[in-house]
Amino acid sequence: MIRVTVWNEGVHETTQPEIAAIYPDGIHGAIAEGLTELLGDAVIVRTATLADPEHGLDEQTLAETDVLLWWGHIAHDRVDDAVVARVQERVLGGMGIIVLHSGHFSKIFKTLMGTTCSLAWRNDGKRELVWTVDPSHPIARGVDQPLTIEAQEMYGEFFDVPTPDELIFISRFEGGELFRSGLTYKRGKGKVFYFSPGDQEYPVYYNAGVRRVLANAVEWIAPRDGVGAAPSVVHAE
Amino acid sequence: MIRVTVWNEGVHETTQPEIAAIYPDGIHGAIAEGLTELLGDAVIVRTATLADPEHGLDEQTLAETDVLLWWGHIAHDRVDDAVVARVQERVLGGMGIIVLHSGHFSKIFKTLMGTTCSLAWRNDGKRELVWTVDPSHPIARGVDQPLTIEAQEMYGEFFDVPTPDELIFISRFEGGELFRSGLTYKRGKGKVFYFSPGDQEYPVYYNAGVRRVLANAVEWIAPRDGVGAAPSVVHAE
Amino acid sequence: MIRVTVWNEGVHETTQPEIAAIYPDGIHGAIAEGLTELLGDAVIVRTATLADPEHGLDEQTLAETDVLLWWGHIAHDRVDDAVVARVQERVLGGMGIIVLHSGHFSKIFKTLMGTTCSLAWRNDGKRELVWTVDPSHPIARGVDQPLTIEAQEMYGEFFDVPTPDELIFISRFEGGELFRSGLTYKRGKGKVFYFSPGDQEYPVYYNAGVRRVLANAVEWIAPRDGVGAAPSVVHAE
Amino acid sequence: MIRVTVWNEGVHETTQPEIAAIYPDGIHGAIAEGLTELLGDAVIVRTATLADPEHGLDEQTLAETDVLLWWGHIAHDRVDDAVVARVQERVLGGMGIIVLHSGHFSKIFKTLMGTTCSLAWRNDGKRELVWTVDPSHPIARGVDQPLTIEAQEMYGEFFDVPTPDELIFISRFEGGELFRSGLTYKRGKGKVFYFSPGDQEYPVYYNAGVRRVLANAVEWIAPRDGVGAAPSVVHAE
């Protein structure tokens, strides 16, 4: 049983009716639904948002989380630094974290990467093709080559992140750009997966292929031996 | 001409006579001397310490620095966060940074890595052998296989850092441990080199092989096209 | 159910009584025993040797093999090139291969690496300590830090192999050397794990820690979706 | 002074007038011209083709070569295995090798990679955009973001090569595909750069950006300390 928490800032859906129309249960709701649909009893999924006390990421919730998904966009700076530090410590102790789309600019992602995490972008709603370049990776299992997303915001290079441990997906946009869209990193005892498809203006989290990637990622990133303390100094005798 | 700044917290040398006896010109002085000795007119070397205004890392100094070396140990928490942010931004814009020994726990290194950077250690003053595992790397040029350091503090695994882009050196300690002691990373437009040999209690920065490594690293890490702004978001039309 | 084939050239054991005394069932027998002991019904293990028809690696056997372990030493050049090509093709199609100790000089390993795979060595029977540098890797699960092998041949750097995808273990030898002793690579749809401990003159394959590593490796390297054809050219319409 | 040898099978140009019209001095001639134009006195460039005795890659020529460029397409199997072995040994000893376009299926590239090196392709003569994803790499210096090639054969994923040490360029094709088009690898003491743009039917090797990449690559890949023997076994006393 993998214990999953889907975190979403949840601001667009509560302030913009046109976004709420696309995601009536919130982006977190759509993601949670996809995971439950594909993984069934193998997961227990809860959600949390910015507006919850401690953003819904209190000690107790994190202590019961094996995999955290993170979606944020316009309210990154409203996330409490203490919560970010708590999440980072938990990742270093073994919790998996999946950072989505505009989450590239979240405090937690920038903290884990050490870089600006900037990129090029243009919201033109054109087609994105997600190509697999590591076909035997568990996250790519059962994913179409390419995975097609009919309408999407463009994200382009240069994406200012460290060299990934594994590059699984690269996306190609109709307007001319491309983007390293599926990346993994180890940090401490935990793992990070960044996946760029997904925007509040497009129904990307209902796409079957995207849901497959996220379900695969949850299974791959869950710690096999539970989450413990972050690595610490050992005074060897 | 490579413009180098050697930064040292400089606390041991000013408070402990037995350390001052080993490093009468400070650890920074010994490092600067080694670089000048080996690189001559190819570099211009200045030094800076914690006690200097803005720790000697004001905007002007950083604007004139291509490569920064960093040594710290007991005063990491006294380094101003604003200075750390300034150094990080400069690294992401292209400045090379070489982090030494106990600098693994410096704010700037932890910020660039995203992990705890913890390790195992024991100060027993025994022999360290530094083995080259990437012999064609420019930083290993002219370095003995192995490089011998007669007396040294032990650093051991697990060293909690991200997978390095390149692993150049691994050290083996008489007491039984080993340690990944020479690592490179890209961050933004800049590069990071971590090199573990070097301690305030041992005359490691006078060792000819260690001086060779640091001189090679300065040449390798210097930006070829100068330092600019850190990568930023591009709104592609 | 993972179908495992343990391949061993089997020359030492049949020509040198002192080796046969250490490995009465052959090195392959000792390895097979360890896998069965630890993995039980999760695996079905068979063995094959150089003296078998087609070295025991006929089309049929390989078609029924998910993971192949390879031990060879003094008879590398007696392995038929056609068998090597057949094994390579199968690895590229998804079969896992675990190459052991002196297998670094086998035709199949050199073919998969593209380098000389040479190293330094000295048979002095002293202690090897195997340190884990990637503690959350499944292959390191439950392995002592360090894993101690009381008597062993020394293997040292420079080990002429490509930069590994993952570096899991580094060994440190009493005589002064160290060696990257646990490495993974992706090749085609398959994976390669090289693990250096193990010599015909020492009872290394009875060591509980070594057996744990090999069992973990078999589970990690087995293809999740079976073995298919090696990747081939696609003429995209 | 970097000693460069540009090798081209040279079959298209001598048997197909329409190709000879594009490359009247051969593909090797166009590449050599570009290197001389951009690097001037820093290089001495010679050429060699399949039809030359020993394919122009006799011991003497290789002994005087620091960097070898390789272009082949329809005559890979006519390259003598002894020449391939000689080139491999030289690369492992430190010579840089730059493999171009359809050279992905050359014996020397497959030998150095250990995989099938297969890919997807379609010759539709549409636009290729080459995006830089490692902007501080010396090979990307002065290269447009993106580099545009107006008409080109499409190469697509999955490209069956090992995980590169560095991924510098990714190409995006008008027809929908993308391709990891600029990759580096270390092999022994030498380095490998694969660069996919370039086809006999299109005047790609006259493109200023492509010429810049190749000139940068020659400078980056040249061994700093000359070429020696490939790594060999060391019997440590």
| pLDDT at position B70 over 90 | yes
pLDDT at residue number C130: 98
Mean pLDDT over residues B57-82, rounded? 98
CATH classification number, D2-114+181-221, choose in 3.40.47.10, 3.40.50.880, 3.40.50.720, 3.40.50.980: 3.40.50.880
Considering CB atoms only, which of A113, A160, A237 is closest to B122? A237
Query: With 90 as the cut, is the pLDDT of residue D74 above it?
Result: yes
Q: What is the mean pLDDT of residues C72-90?
A: 98
The answer to whether residue B143 scores a pLDDT higher than 90 is: yes
- Strand spans (E) along chain B: 2-8, 43-49, 67-71, 96-100, 120-132, 147-156, 166-173, 178-187, 190-195, 234-235
Q: Give the torsion sign (CA, B47, D138, B115, B88).
A: positive
Label residues D90-122 b or e (16+ Cβ within 10 Å = b): bbbbbbbbbbbbbbbbbbbbbbbbbbbbbbbbb
Nearest Cα residue to C155 out of C185, C183, C189, C118: C118
pLDDT digits (tens, 9 = 90+) for C25-55: 999 999 999 999 999 999 999 999 999 999 9
Fold of A2-114+182-221: Rossmann fold (3.40.50)
**In the structure encoding, which two tokens stand for residue B20, read together?**
């001052």
Question: Is residue D225 pLDDT above 90, yes or no?
Answer: no
**pLDDT, mean of residues A31-48:** 98
Residues of A in contact with B85 (CB under 8 A): none
CB A12 within 8 A of CB A29: no
Asked if A231 and B160 come within 8 Å (Cβ–Cβ), the reply is yes
Give the pLDDT confidence of D184-213 residue by residue, as tens digits.
Answer: 999 999 999 999 999 899 999 999 999 999
Please state the pTM of the whole predicted model: 0.98
Among C128, C143, C155, C157, most B C-beta atoms within 10 A, so best to mutate, is: C157
Is the confidence metric ipTM above 0.95 for this complex? yes
D167 touches chain C (CB under 8 A): no
Judging contacts by C-beta atoms under 8 Å, the chain D residues touching residue B224 are 138, 141
Give the helix ranges, DSSP H, for chain D.
Answer: 12-15, 17-22, 26-39, 59-63, 81-92, 107-113, 208-221
For chain A, list the contacting chains (3+ Cβ pairs, <8 Å). Answer: B, C, D
Mutation for testing the D interface, residue in C163, C167, C189 having most D CBs under 10 Å: C163
Range list of β-strands (E), B51-210: 67-71, 96-100, 120-132, 147-156, 166-173, 178-187, 190-195
pLDDT at C50: 98
Q: Nearest by CB to A138, which of C135, C141, C224? A: C224
Looking at residue B109, what is its pLDDT?
98
- pLDDT in the model for residue D101: 98
pLDDT above 80 for C237? no
| Cα separation, C37 vs C53, whole angstroms | 28
Task: Name the residue facing D231 among C156, C158, C237 (closest C-beta).
Answer: C158
Say how far residue D173 (Cα) sits from the centre of its chain.
Answer: 20
Q: Calculate the average pLDDT of chain C.
A: 97
In chain C, the residue whose alpha carbon lies closest to the alpha carbon of A136 is: C189
Q: What is the pLDDT of residue C235?
A: 86
Q: Considering only CA atoms, which of B56, B66, B72, B64 is closest in space to residue B96?
A: B66
Q: What is the pLDDT of residue A214?
A: 98
Name the residue among A131, A163, A177 with its Cβ closest to that of D157: A131
Reply yes or no on whether the pLDDT at D237 is more than 80: no
Domain ranges of chain B: 2-114+182-221
Name which of B135, B224, B231 is nearest D189 (Cβ-Cβ): B135
C16-28: average pLDDT: 97
D77 pLDDT tier (thresholds 50, 70, 90): very high
**pLDDT confidence of C106, banded at 50, 70, 90?**
very high
Tell me the one-letter amino acid at C219.
Answer: E
Token pair, residue A102, equals 């505009």
D202 touches chain A (CB under 8 A): no
Sorting pLDDT into bands at 50, 70 and 90, what band is D47? very high
- Determine whether the interchain pair A236/B154 forms a contact, defined as Cβ–Cβ distance below 8 Å: yes
Q: Does the CB of D158 have a partner CB in chain C at under 8 Å?
A: yes
Q: Which pLDDT belongs to residue A235?
A: 87
> B115 pLDDT exceeds 80?
yes
**pLDDT of amino acid A237:** 72
Residue whose pair of structure tokens reads 């590593």 in the numeric block: C213
Whether the CB-CB separation of D108 and D97 falls below 8 Å is answered with: yes
Q: State how far the Cα of D89 lies from the Cα of C186, in Å rounded to an integer.
A: 23
pLDDT of residue D235: 87
What is the rounded CA–CA span in Å between residue B186 and residue B165? 7
- Phi then psi for residue C84, to 5 deg, are -60, -45
Average pLDDT over residues B106-124: 97
Contact D185 C162 (CB under 8 A): yes
Q: Which residues of C touch D122 (CB under 8 A)?
A: 235-237
Q: Which residue of B has its CA nearest to D94?
A: B136
pLDDT score of C215? 98
Q: Hey, are the CB atoms on B235 and A119 less than 8 Å from each other? A: no
A234 touches chain B (CB under 8 A): yes
Q: Does A137 touch chain D (CB under 8 A)?
A: no
pLDDT higher than threshold 80 for residue B237? no
